[in-house]
A = this chain, B = another copy of it.
């Protein structure tokens, strides 16, 4: 079955006996994302989000609701083994879980295995072996390139090479873990020497995260036509960035301490299967742009490789929290602003034989729209700090302040299907 084909688990008429799933913006029964959660006072285990609840898959194995090798795989405390499975195995598990949660006959056995999500602590879903961040948001690349290199915003390789670089796996944290404002070297404008101290240009970046499934062996590339088999699912990713450190350190080897102090991801892996209805044709390249080289070109990918996701960034300042005000939305835009598809970045990454492993994480890079309402970082919204903007409560921002909480969200929509969401990616900034 092809990655963009739907089955009975996507049927919009399907409902769950777990009432909170109906109309749930993120986790209706058509989603069924995997995550690692710990009920209060208990150890971490695999769960599936359904409405406001989490189905405890480990408990499902104990209750013999999952059989065969699912007994072992679903009793793990990370998703790495599950991610290593081929997509048809994930799809089989998805069908089984969908049946458990929709069929009224299963309710008596399954309902005791649901936990309140509000009472659970989420963990990272997998042991992340390697984390790679790409740069596929062409409007972001243009906007930021213009600030760093006014005469040369988009470098000549951009439209041929899905530009990427390795990030830091150890400092990736799940939604909810606060971010400490980092210290580092920056060179103030017109200063003769750099100084060391807390960043004064802290920023967020709105990205999609891609979870690698089976992976490839060292030395063996992944053909573009098979890339989807290696994409297990998606999350949101906030690639926190200290712009002052970045400007000073990034040449010639790329961003380092400007990024690796922490990255935040949403804790649920929304599977490639759940996303099956939410594929779009990859937007045609602007006239004059080169075609991708053959190793990155597939008809199926051009027809279905873009994602029907709407991305949003919200901000809740400390004052808003204290005064009981809801977060304000800073931007929203579609994920179709990716110049390269997910399959293209996977194939490119492995094209030299680099081995991807189950549980590796790829970031897309910041996804900005062409216009201001869809800018995916504060650097873009406030023009590199030169044009601070006003929030609804009168506060202004040029960069992220201590006490600010940044919240990323994403919703997938397609005609005739029930919308699903990726869940929240949020973190509050602590003083240095």
Contact = CB atoms under 8 A, between A and B. Distances in A.
Contacts of A163: 249, 252-253, 256
A185 B293 contact: yes
Given A170-B360, A249-B161, A219 B352 contact: no
A236 B165 CA distance: 24
B168 A354 contact: yes
A195 B351 CA distance: 13
A285 interface: no
A353 interface: yes
Nearest to A215: B170
A357 interface: yes
B218 A253 contact: no
B166 A353 contact: no
A176 B342 CA distance: 35
A352 B240 CA distance: 12
Interface stretch (A11-19, A55-63, A257-265, A390-398): A257-265
B254 A194 contact: no
Contacts of A356: 170
A183 B254 contact: no
B183 A253 contact: no
Given A129-B170, A170-B354, A260-B354, A254 B165 contact: yes
A155 interface: yes
A298 interface: no
A290 interface: yes
A171 B257 CA distance: 23
A145 to B, nearest CB: 7
B184 A351 contact: yes
Contact of A167 (B166, B183, B184, B290): B166
A263 to B, nearest CB: 11
Interface string A140-161: 0000010011000001010011
A145 B170 CA distance: 30
A242 interface: yes
A354 B252 contact: no
A242 B249 CA distance: 24
Most buried by B among A149, A253, A349: A253
A181 to B, nearest CB: 9
A164 interface: yes
A290 B193 contact: yes
A277 interface: no
Interface residues of A, number: 62
A329 B251 CA distance: 33
A356 B260 CA distance: 11
Contacts of A149: 252
A207 to B, nearest CB: 14
Interface in A157-212: 157, 160-161, 163-171, 173, 180, 182-185, 187, 193-196
A349 B166 CA distance: 15
Most buried by B among A290, A349, A351: A351
Nearest to A129: B170
B257 A183 contact: no
Contacts of A242: 352
B352 A155 contact: no
Most buried by B among A165, A183, A187: A165
A233 to B, nearest CB: 19
A166 B293 CA distance: 27
A237 interface: no
10 A-B pairs with the lowest CB-CB distances in the bound complex, closest first: A254-B254, A182-B352, A166-B166, A165-B253, A180-B219, A253-B254, A261-B352, A257-B352, A260-B354, A184-B352
Interface of A: 129-130, 135, 145, 148-149, 155, 157, 160-161, 163-171, 173, 180, 182-185, 187, 193-196, 218-219, 221, 242, 245, 248-257, 260-262, 290, 293-295, 348-349, 351-357, 360
27 contacts: A135-B253, A145-B252, A148-B252, A155-B251, A157-B248, A160-B193, A163-B249, A164-B256, A165-B256, A166-B167, A169-B169, A170-B356, A171-B218, A171-B354, A180-B219, A182-B352, A183-B351, A183-B352, A193-B290, A196-B295, A219-B261, A219-B262, A245-B352, A250-B254, A251-B252, A252-B254, A260-B354
